[in-house]
Amino acid sequence: MSNSEIADFADDQKIIDLETKLAAARHERDRYKEQLGRVEAERQDLQRLLDLVSTIEDIAPAPPKWTVEKPQGDRHAIATFLITDTHFDEVVEPNEIMGLNAYNRQIAEQRLERAFTRGVHLARDYLGNYTYDGAVVMFGGDIVSGDIHDELIRTNEAPTTETVEYFIDPMLAGLKLLHEEFGNLHCVGVVGNHDRLQKRKPAKLRAKDSWTWLFYKILAREFRRNSNVTFDVPESAEVNVPIYDTRFQLHHGDDFVGGSGISGALAPLMLGDHRKRRRQFNAARATGNRDLEFDYQIMGHWHQRIILPGVIVGGCMKGYDEYSRSKNYDYSPPSQELMIVTPERGVTFNVPIWVEDREQEGW
């Protein structure tokens, strides 16, 4: 290779090297331009956020002023108690139900007292500044445990005759407390299914064939000379109770049967509510007596507190028991029910009265 050829080769190599460096420089330039584009986009986003913050900071808030006016004049109400499923003299042993509950005569008397005293406390001190026109007690049945099953005969605290005689005085104490606190007192009572005299639930003489009906009648006799305390002890298993312009139908709830699976008690309660409303509507239309219809159904029986549109199911004073455990029913704490009924709204408040106190009850 001549000297000139060598020189030309060297020049070509320099050109290749320069072109390689130029390509690398261009690649680096493009990479920096891409990064610069991303940075610029981020800068623009930040600028928009800054502008938004500045705009928000420049806005002067001007919220409306809301006020709560004090009620004009007296607000009237009637304190309405649902006392149901007390199952007096039934015995529940805690060691048979994993320590979830206990029940006997002593505990029943304590829980009955709490139902009345705590109910008064709720109505008087928690649920509004009302002028009470009186109180209503709805007795929902199953006041005594009864002896419709052999196991109850074996395990009840005492024979049912003795149960009725014993618990008259504690119940009278509760009613007298309500009379002292609220003035006028009206008591309405229906029978249950545990308190019947026969093994099978009768259709005829359903009310009179019950220990609970006798219990109510004895209570009524104690107040027969007091015109401010009245009783309605119907010979029917259900009764309509008007309070102001709100109509209640009180019954025990055992006519609603069925229920299984996830829906539990909801299916029979909703179906039963539909059937009773339809029955009462048709009866009212046929007789022209609109008082046969009702706004709310009030009941017990299901041993759990359930609130549905137009249906109020009170809790059970006895609480969870061996039968509930054997059927895997859901646990429900012992309770009774308080409703504050007003002329304007009907049932304005309905709240549970929790009656259990393990420490005082000693279990």
Distance CA 219, CA 50 (A): 78
Structure tokens at 212: 């609970």
328 DSSP assignment: T
pLDDT of res. 253: 95
* Strand bridging mode 311-313 / 306-308: antiparallel
Given phi > 0 = left and psi -120 to 50 = alpha, else beta, which region is 181?
A: alpha
Chain centroid, CA 188 distance in Å: 23
Distance CA 171, CA 216 (A): 10
Residues in the chain: 363
pLDDT of res. 6: 60
CA-nearest of 352, 349, 353 to 340 is 349
The DSSP annotation for 146-198 comes to -SSSHHHHHHSSS-HHHHHHHHHHHHHHHHHHHHHHHS-EEEEE---STTBSS
For helices 160-182 and 211-222, give the axis angle rounded to 10 degrees: 40
Instruction: Encode the chain (363 residues) as per-residue pLDDT tens digits.
Output: 566 666 666 666 777 777 788 788 788 887 888 888 888 888 888 888 888 888 777 777 788 888 887 777 789 999 999 999 999 999 999 999 999 999 999 999 999 999 999 999 999 999 878 999 999 999 999 999 999 999 999 999 999 999 999 999 999 999 999 999 999 999 999 999 999 988 888 899 999 999 999 999 999 999 999 999 999 999 999 999 999 999 999 999 999 987 665 667 888 999 999 999 999 999 999 999 989 999 999 999 999 999 999 999 999 999 999 999 998 989 999 999 999 999 999 999 999 999 999 999 999
Distance CA 351, CA 80 (A): 11
